[in-house]
Amino acid sequence: MSLVKIGVIGIGNMGSLHVQMLNKGQIEGAMLTAVCSSNESRIAWVKAHTNGDVKIFKEEEAFFTESGIDAVLIATPHYSHPVLAKKAFAKGKHVLIEKPAGVFTKNVLEMNAAAKSCGKVFGIMYNQRANPLYQKVRDLIQSGQLGEIKRTNWIITDMYRPQSYYDSSKWRATWKGEGGGVLLNQALHQLDLLQWTTGCMPKRIRSMSSSGRYHDIEVEDDVTAFLEYENGATGVITASTGEAPGTNRYEIVGDRGKIVVENEELIFYQLTQSEREFNSSYEGGFGQPDCQRIEIPVKSENANHAIIIQNWIDAIVKDSPLLSPGEEGVKALEISNAIYLSSWLNETVLLPIDPDLYYKKLQENINDSTFVKKNVTNTTLDVSGTH
């Protein structure tokens, strides 16, 4: 295969970005040959921003059967990701989906099973896995330099969104259209990084969630969740789209020190001796292990979307390992679903959650909704430079 023929379905905020990257030849070994959208204004945009060889489809079935594509990049609203991925697998296409993998784990697990039986390359756009900053954090933890994890803490409030963001689309920030708010859209990257860097999933979650606290929306825009891990470690996640200026601080405490990521900087407070060893052997009453503060220089560039797409193409062409396998999309979604469920039930929930119970509660939110969205502008936003 000389060039992988790519089709993009969904030409909204993210789909438009991907179309531009592919059309400009920024992804080696790939070429944009088809797009699919039922929105006339977006079709006009595609015609104005691509060469004349790109086929345009309005119907999904024709897109999958008549476009001649080898692979599809899915950038549609959240609920449709598993549905479209399963259709693509059935047609023998490689798939890269935008995050989230879906809205609820029940159909995402079905999507994963379809991917496994199909045998095609399946990736998900967890683009922050391509960030050298978090790759280094993962290396420090996975190599054992931090020791056994004792605590995690992530404050994610630097994703401020004004009301106009939510008003840009009818489906956005509704239970029926988007399926969630800050947890499912903005902070899902951090939920993925939390389990990816540490290598472990929480076992229990207790959370508090506020819907429409800072915006005229019906989904959550402010969340605090308490996590418990199998080894007894604990964690806290705080996420909001209503604070300015916001904070993005990721702190992981282990038996051999502490890692802090903030303001694109990585600092490793490395103990010269295991805290547990010091605790059992030191006899001075007051005191603590010696610590060395190490600033680790890491160059972080916001080219992570292109890196994930390039990695996906390389996996198709060269059988290279995927940095962000699609099947792993269920992990962050499992955490977000557990946080929602805990808030809805007002109790601690165990992971993995009951997928049928979560689906039932989600449907109740949708069916009981009386929210009416006002001032919808139907605007495609420029996401360049965002995460």
The DSSP-derived string for 219-267 is SEEEEEEEEE-TTS-EEEEEEESS-SS--EEEEEEETTEEEEEETTEEE
Beta-ladder partners of 295: 267
Q: What is the pLDDT of residue 379?
A: 86
Q: What is the pLDDT of residue 293?
A: 98
Q: 3-state class of 56 per DSSP?
A: strand
How far lies 169's CA from each of 50, 81, 144, 165, 376, in Å? 24, 18, 45, 8, 6
Please, what's the largest Cα pairwise distance for the chain?
Answer: 77
Q: 277-336, pLDDT tens digit by residue?
A: 999 999 999 999 999 999 999 987 666 899 999 999 999 999 999 999 999 999 999 999
Count, residues in the chain: 387
Helix (H) or strand (E) holding 150: strand 149-156
**Intervals of the chain under pLDDT 50:** none
Beta-ladder partners of 57: 36
The predicted model scores a pTM of 0.95
Q: 174-187, pLDDT tens digit by residue?
A: 999 999 999 999 99
Q: Within 13 A of 322's CA, how many CA atoms are on the CB side?
A: 21
How many CB atoms are located within 10 Å of the residue 332 CB? 27
Q: Strand runs (DSSP E) across 177-219, as ranges? A: 204-211
**Cα four-point dihedral sign 43, 45, 47, 50:** negative
**Domains of the chain: residue spans and CATH:** 4-125+303-326 (3.40.50.720), 129-300+332-367 (3.30.360.10)
Q: What is the pLDDT of residue 1?
A: 57
